[in-house]
Amino acid sequence: MLLKFTKMHGLGNDFVVVDAVSRKVFFNKQQIEKLSDRNWGIGFDQLLVVEPPTNPDMDFRYRIYNSDGSEVEHCGNGARCFAKFVLDRELTNKRIINVETKRGAIQLRVLDGGLVTVDMGEPSFDPNDLPFTAEPSDALYSIMAGDVEYFMTPVSVGNPHAVIKVDQLTDDEVATVETLIECHERFPRKVNVGFMQVISPDEIKLRVYERGVGETQACGTGACAAVVAGIKQGWLSPKVTAHLRGGDLHIEWQGEGSPILMTGPAEKVFEGQIYL
Ligand SMILES: N[C@H](CCC[C@H](N)C(=O)O)C(=O)O
């Protein structure tokens, strides 16, 4: 089967996006792993499959698959690229787009100049929502990865995140975190791990080791998780600029009961086709 696709990225977190509205398309795990391979396939962090909605109140459904083939609940950078994709392909002419995801309904607002604001929904700090095996607490959670003790804030943004505050971002943390996310018994569905350096109450630096992928140039849900964890711990103000390796995201959260708003760019790199 000849598959047409669009290669896109949000701050270097890269995607293959497929229109499954015009024609149904299904992928199995092996196909996704092959397509994601940067030597044997196209190469991407996530595959985004755009489908018609199942709920008539929604404009679309979009499904998100990590490069290892696992289907996930939410993808912040992917949501912005999705919005650009459906407008470029004239699948809609709306600038406020309501989308079904595995995490639930989200709303995208396409701004003049190409930026997109995503209502990412409300976060949860209940470990059961990740899941993470621990008693709910306001404290930082201690967790051992190998012989290293990390103090982290577990946050669900629809997908699971562990936010670790560090004084200085280096290469060391990310390299050693694999044991924390790939096989830690306290994260039965694994976890995305963010290392956050607080520069000021409205500015952080962040590196994210993503579940099912590895370290990415940027992680939208990771930036949201880091900012809301920092606000909850009293380190950050309601509006924060997150500096990721691939660029900046603007995150806003007014506290419990309110949604997280994330604003950032979305880029198209090329269109292609491949035989599946
Ligand atoms: N790796 C994540 C999904 C993609 C998140 C990231 N690409 C983003 O922009 O939010 C997970 O397994 O939950």
Q: Go through 169-201 and write b for each residue having 16 or more CB atoms within 10 A of its CB, e for each that does not.
A: beeebbeebbebbeebebbeebbbbbbbbbeee
- CA–CA separation, 110 and 151 (whole Å): 37
Whether the Cβ atoms of residue 1 and residue 276 lie closer than 8 Å to each other: yes
Q: Is the CB of 158 under 6 A from ligand 1?
A: no
The reported pTM is: 0.96
pLDDT in tens, 51-94: 999 999 999 999 999 999 999 999 999 999 999 999 999 999 99
**Domains 2-121+265-275 and 127-258 are alike in CATH topology:** yes
Q: Output the six-digit token pair for 144.
A: 């051992």
Strand 260-264, strand 116-119: pairing: antiparallel
Catalytic residue list:
75, 219
ipTM of the complex: 0.97
The pLDDT score that the predictor gives to residue 179 is 56
Work out the end-to-end distance of the chain between its first and last CA atoms, rounded to an integer number of angstroms.
Answer: 5
Region 207-236: mean pLDDT is 96
pLDDT higher than threshold 70 for residue 257: yes
Query: What residue type is 207 in one-letter code?
Result: R
Nearest CA to ligand 1 atom 3: 75
Annotated binding site: 13, 46, 66, 76-77, 159, 192, 210-211, 220-221
Region 101-117: mean pLDDT is 96
- CA–CA separation, 8 and 116 (whole Å): 14
The pLDDT score that the predictor gives to residue 1 is 82
pLDDT in tens, 230-246: 999 999 999 999 999 99
Q: Is the CB of 156 under 6 A from ligand 1?
A: no
- Kindly give the number of the ligand 1 atom that is closest to the alpha carbon of 221: 10
- CA–CA separation, 160 and 83 (whole Å): 23
pLDDT-derived band at 249 (thresholds 50, 70, 90) equals very high
Q: In terms of CATH architecture, what is 2-121+265-275?
A: Roll (3.10)
DSSP sequence for 139-187: SPEEEEETTEEEEEEEEESSSEEEEEE-SS--HHHHHHTHHHHHS-TT-
Number of separate helices (H) and strands (E) present in the chain = 5, 18
The answer for 272, left when phi > 0, alpha when psi is -120 to 50, beta otherwise, is beta
Q: Is the CB of 192 under 6 A from ligand 1?
A: yes
Annotated binding site for substrate: 13, 46, 66, 76-77, 159, 192, 210-211, 220-221
Whether the Cβ atoms of residue 219 and residue 249 lie closer than 8 Å to each other: no
In Å, the largest CA–CA distance within the chain is 53
CA of 219 to the centre of ligand 1 (A): 6
Return the domain boundaries, the chain: 2-121+265-275, 127-258
Distances in Å between the Cα of 227 and the Cα atoms of 31, 47, 149, 255 are: 35, 26, 22, 11
∠ at Cα 49 (44, 52), nearest 5°? 165
Please, which residues bridge with residue 85 across strands?
none
pLDDT-derived band at 182 (thresholds 50, 70, 90) equals low
Strand 214-215, strand 239-244: pairing: unpaired
Q: Is the CB of 36 under 6 A from ligand 1?
A: no
The pLDDT score that the predictor gives to residue 194 is 94
127-258 maps to which CATH number?
A: 3.10.310.10
Q: Is the CB of 67 under 6 A from ligand 1?
A: no
